[in-house]
Chains A and B, each alone.
Chain A
Amino acid sequence: MSDTTTATNDSGARPRGRVALFVTCLVDLYRPEIGFAAVQLLERAGFVVEVPRQGCCGQPNFNSGDRAGAGKIASRVIDRFAPFDYVVAPSGSCAAMLRVHYPGLFSAGSEARRAAARLAEKTFELTSFLYDIAGLREVAAELDGVVTYHDGCSGLRELGVARQPRELLKSISGIELREMNQPDACCGFGGLFCMKYPEISERITGSKVRDILATDADYLVAGDLGCLLQMAGTLERNGHAVKAVHVAEVLAGMIGPDRSADH
């Protein structure tokens, strides 16, 4: 593939497979470091990571009722990512789009549907891939501080991601994972929802922030950048010092007092 760049497996052992990183458009634009953290974690786990040229998963179209548009975007993603052993996204919501919703965009019995189903089967959210597929149980990272984990809605309810990020976070030396009240409650982001109904979104995030602050955590960790932008922006607007960071950054050891999340 001309527009695909490949990383070498720096563990030296035989690679366990080729992973295509579905970086997500939000990470691509807002926080590339999350993408690099994901690559690092995947490579350390023994996989060869590649980054096919890519855009959005089509979720804004799908959730806005534009099925046809979502289907067109999905076809493109399916074509680009089909050749790999696995597709991994540092986002429960985008991974769920590929894994849960793509097949239904194509008519039953069609070749496109079968292709979508094949892609769905090998698509994973990052922490669930590391924990369930790669068998990772601990990461080599340090973080001296209290973290609280927010469950992204799609990851939790469409992919069952809950235990994996928590187990991996707990393996970090120096870390304390402190659960907030209702970590499974929505943060108020909801994709375009936060732009269409900003006041309602703000109120939902307000409840979430109250629960986050009640933990007295230093870091708010989540697996979806959409949720993180929403919560970070609200924390900042209201003058709260809790740092909102992506689980990949924490697991890759990129977060700490001496490591700024902003590059």
Chain B
Amino acid sequence: METTSRQFRQLSRHALEQATLQHSLDGVREIMPRIRAAALAERGDFDALCDRARDIRERTLRQLDSYLEAFERRVQAAGGTVHWAATGEEACRIVAQICRDAGAERLIKSKSMVTEEIELNAALERDGFTVTETDLGEYIIQLRGEKPSHILAPSLHVTLDEVAETFHQHHDIERSGPLTNATEMLAEARSIMRDKFLQADVGITGANFLVAETGAAVIVTNEGNADLTASLPDTHIVVTGIEKAVPTLDDVGVLLRVLARSAIGERLSNYTTFVHGPRRDGEASGPANYHVVLVDNGRSEMLGTEFQDMLRCIRCSACLNHCPVYTAIGGHAYGSVYSGPMGAVLTPAFAGLPAAAHLPNASTFCGRCEAVCPVRIPLPSLLRRWRQRELNARPVMDGQRFGLGLWRWLNHWPPAYSLAIRCAARVLRRLSVPGRGGQRWIRRLPLLGAAWTDCRDLPAPPGRTFQDEWRRRRS
């Protein structure tokens, strides 16, 4: 997986300077926790549902092979074809081959994070196909040549004015005229998209779940674009990760209950579709060809490791919406299609730790992600494990390793610790200046301390430590 995560610092600084992005992120920070909480409040059993959801995902991962095989048998029995791809490139090749075999030129897609991960569009375009994203947000960023900045709301960073501008650049301006509001933009997108849907040769969707019991690919959207993508073209290709399997319909019911509530504060998304295979004899419509491409791309390597829990993820985005870091810098700063806490765990696994070392480090460990995760992924613990690997990979004389070693040593030698703290207390007191109400403040610190005082003042310590003062008072 290609990332720009190495540039995390520059990308996040850039994001912090974008006023319109900051405004959108403020909206996420304010609105999403509120609507999620409201949706949960109605279900007194939400905690029990999350426990169930976690257990279902855990149980599935531990028997993933048999559920995938069962799913495959079902799809084959219904007349569909299942393909397996060990890597992203393999998956892209398989999809391209299916499209060529179908004699296709025009492809439509509904939003899928796996296809973003494997960069399917770029591969298909290189092979000469025309690909149109049909989720409105995904379509907007496709026109703009951008990556998703949120796993559910890919165009979160794009303002309405920019949408209008983008449509003007890419659509027939004479026909559409100036677009001034969301309703007009929607009408414009709808009419453009209608033609794309009706003319497409192949429809590509992702899947939220693969049901071993029935062979269904379950696809969830709010726009209904996946349904059109899956129904109108003569060929339907589902591209999804191997970890999406679930054993039974009962399991899907539990997962659907927690998914939409966690994602958008709704009981259920507007459209939930179960696809079992190609058109049958006597049916009025539907694709003649049905393919499912199961993508591994690093997932099976996570099984059995300390990162296995991450494979429980159902891509609800609650961890992004509740993350102080995500809502400060947005998705692009992560340099990966997966952002927020889930992205900070997944990206090092998919792209390698050296490329993504910043991501697990850029967390306050506030734990809100874990608290809102509907499948109870211990995200901070997983991030901490990446930090451990990252630290151990650093050279012995690395500054951070040295600092931590020194701290450990000080804490093992109480006299040294006391001396160090005493010195710090006095030096900091010296550096302070008087402020309001008799309080003293440090306005500027040198060296490492500048990282604090560049952004904020530091209250001055009184100069004598608690332990010294305690012993003085009590002796």
Residues of A within 8 A of B (CB): 3, 5-7, 23, 25, 27-32, 34-36, 39, 51, 53-56, 58, 60-67, 69, 72-73, 76, 153-154, 157-158, 181-182, 184-186, 188-191, 193-205, 207, 229-230, 232-234, 236-237, 241, 243, 260-263
Contact = CB atoms under 8 A, between A and B. Distances in A.
A25 B454 contact: no
Contacts of A196: 361-362, 451
Interface residues of B, number: 77
Interface string B360-390: 0111111110110000000000001111111
A233 B458 contact: yes
Given A69-B408, A196-B361, A205 B461 contact: no
Contacts of B336: none
A179 B404 CA distance: 38
Nearest to A233: B456
Nearest to A35: B466
A121 B454 CA distance: 40
Closest 5 CB pairs of A and B: A190-B364, A65-B387, A233-B456, A32-B466, A65-B388
B456 A65 contact: no
B137 interface: no
Contacts of A184: 368
Interface string B433-454: 0011111110000001001101
A134 to B, nearest CB: 21
Contacts of A56: 407, 411
A45 to B, nearest CB: 19
Contacts of A243: 437
* A contacts with B: majority SS: helix
B405 A69 contact: yes
A191 B367 CA distance: 13
Contact of A61 (B371, B407, B437, B454): B407
Given A54-B467, A65-B392, A186-B324, A31 B461 contact: yes
A195 B324 contact: no
A234 B456 contact: yes
A203 B457 contact: no
Given A65-B387, A201-B455, A28 B466 contact: yes
A188 B364 CA distance: 7
B16 interface: yes
A76 to B, nearest CB: 6
B196 interface: no
A53 B414 CA distance: 7
B365 A260 contact: no
A28 B421 contact: yes
